[in-house]
């Protein structure tokens, strides 16, 4: 038999538990939700990066603007020093002291964009007291005298002549270096590799000028393997040079042949020289400038088969030289002016004129403008010799009237628009 009140206790316990659970649940449902606040965002600081400064690209090198006209002047043999003997002793005798200006009197005649001469005296940084050459005439110079050329306005000097050996191998090797140090362009230097005769390009005021400098005679033949003079015998000029000129024609505005050739003191030009010079113009050269005879020879205008005017100066004689007895003393400056044109494949030879000059002995050998009787003598000689080559030279109408103009040149077409 169950004890009285035994089943009522558990029921009471269950009721109390249910009431407690309900109360707890009611309290839970009535509690407000807890808000969780986000931490405030801090501003983002970006540290600037240090970037190395980049150099601005160099502007493109623009080619020089091409000048509408170009003037060039040419002279003959220039000697700065020589070797003499006294009492059996040889010594170096400069033509002038280093600070002298032997070209001062003719500087206005020389002034041009390009000024070209034949440097008959090889040059070293320091000329030896005796020349290694055994020639009767032995020339040479030291670097100290090269500034005389600079003061005179020269820009290009040809070394291709028969006296280039007068200071031996050292003179051949040092000469171009000495000239370059003075800011002068050396053409016709000796070389140890073929081809000895080649085109040497010189750019002036936007014009590309090709020089071909060589000699047809020499006093010495260089040693095997050593430097050799740019040389071509007269009979080989066309065979050797025409291919060179024809190849270079398209790459240059002007092609100028500077040649040491001819017969000393001769008035007339040999047929071989005439044929060679004309062939060079027909092959594409614009000018043929000669020297070596020590006297003035004819200037010839030649119209090529392409109907283009070319010019030959067979010999421009001496210019600074220790001799002035009449014909060897007659000299001058050849001036040519070219114009770039719109409707022509090649620049046009607009004008060619000759400034007469004369070599004077005192004070010190030097050229000066030939006026008065001397001017008449120089003009008469050149007029007569040139007329025998079919070229008429006329006296200018300027105030002094000393210059000679080459006639018969075709009028140049209109200038190239800038």
Q: Is the pLDDT of residue 235 over 80?
A: yes
Q: What is the mean pLDDT of the chain?
A: 87
Tokens, residue 60: 């493109």
Q: How far apart are CA 291 and CA 317, in angstroms?
A: 6
Q: Is the pLDDT of residue 185 over 90?
A: yes
Report yes or no: 289 and 334 within 8 Å, Cβ to Cβ: yes
Encode pLDDT of 370-380 as tens digits.
999 999 999 99
Q: Is the pLDDT of residue 345 over 90?
A: no
| Domain architecture of the chain: domains with CATH | 69-406 (3.60.21)
- Measured CA to CA in angstroms, residue 336 lies from 61, 80, 254, 311 at distances of 30, 26, 12, 9
Q: How many Cβ atoms are within 10 Å of 175's Cβ, its own excluded? A: 26
Q: Is the pLDDT of residue 50 over 60?
A: no
Q: Is the pLDDT of residue 47 over 90?
A: no
Q: Is the pLDDT of residue 31 over 50?
A: no
> Confidence class of residue 398 from pLDDT cuts 50, 70 and 90?
low
Encode pLDDT of 131-145 as tens digits.
998 888 899 999 999
E-state strands within 224-365: 254-260, 287-291, 299-303, 309-313, 318-320, 330-339, 348-360
pLDDT (0 to 100) of residue 133: 87
pLDDT (0 to 100) of residue 417: 44
Instruction: Read off the pLDDT of each residue in 122-126 and give the average, rounded to a whole number.
Output: 97
Report yes or no: 284 and 44 within 8 Å, Cβ to Cβ: no
Three-point CA angle 268, 265, 116, nearest 5°: 90
Tokens, residue 191: 């070389």
């Amino acid at each position: 038999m169950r004890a009285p009140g035994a089943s009522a206790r558990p029921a009471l316990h269950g009721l109390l538990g249910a009431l407690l659970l309900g109360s707890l649940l009611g309290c839970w449902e009535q509690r407000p939700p807890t808000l969780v606040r986000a931490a405030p965002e801090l501003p983002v600081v970006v540290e600037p990066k240090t970037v190395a400064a980049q150099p601005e690209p160099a502007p493109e090198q623009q080619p020089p603007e091409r000048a509408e006209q170009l003037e060039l002047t040419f002279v003959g043999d220039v000697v700065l020093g020589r070797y003499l003997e006294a009492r059996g002793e040889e010594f170096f005798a400069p033509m002038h002291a280093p600070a002298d200006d032997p070209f001062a009197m003719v500087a206005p005649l020389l002034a041009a964009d390009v000024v070209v001469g034949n440097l008959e005296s090889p040059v070293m940084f320091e000329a030896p007291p005796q020349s290694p050459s055994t020639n009767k005439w032995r020339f040479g110079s030291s670097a100290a005298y090269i500034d005389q050329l600079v003061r005179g306005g020269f820009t290009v000097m040809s070394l291709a002549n028969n006296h280039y050996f007068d200071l031996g191998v050292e003179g051949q090797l040092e000469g171009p270096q000495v000239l370059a140090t003075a800011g002068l362009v050396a053409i016709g230097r000796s070389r140890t590799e073929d081809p000895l005769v080649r085109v040497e390009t010189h750019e002036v005021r936007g014009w590309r000028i090709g020089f071909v400098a060589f000699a047809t005679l020499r006093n010495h033949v260089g040693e095997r393997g050593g430097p050799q003079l740019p040389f071509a015998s007269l009979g080989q000029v066309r065979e050797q040079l025409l291919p060179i000129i024809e190849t270079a024609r398209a790459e240059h505005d002007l092609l100028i042949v500077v040649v040491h050739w001819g017969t000393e003191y001769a008035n007339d030009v040999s047929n071989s020289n005439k044929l060679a010079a004309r062939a060079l113009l027909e092959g594409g050269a614009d000018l043929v400038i000669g020297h070596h005879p020590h006297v003035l020879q004819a200037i010839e205008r030649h119209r090529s088969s392409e109907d283009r005017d070319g010019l030959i100066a067979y010999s421009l004689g001496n210019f600074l030289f220790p001799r002035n007895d009449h014909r060897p003393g007659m000299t001058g400056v050849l001036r040519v002016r070219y114009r770039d044109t719109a409707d022509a494949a090649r620049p046009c030879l607009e004008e060619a004129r000759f400034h007469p000059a004369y070599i004077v002995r005192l004070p010190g050998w030097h050229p000066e403008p030939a006026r008065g009787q001397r001017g008449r003598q120089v003009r008469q000689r050149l007029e007569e010799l040139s007329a025998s080559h079919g070229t008429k030279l006329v006296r200018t109408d300027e105030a002094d009237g000393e210059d000679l103009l080459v006639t018969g040149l075709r009028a140049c077409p209109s200038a190239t628009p800038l």
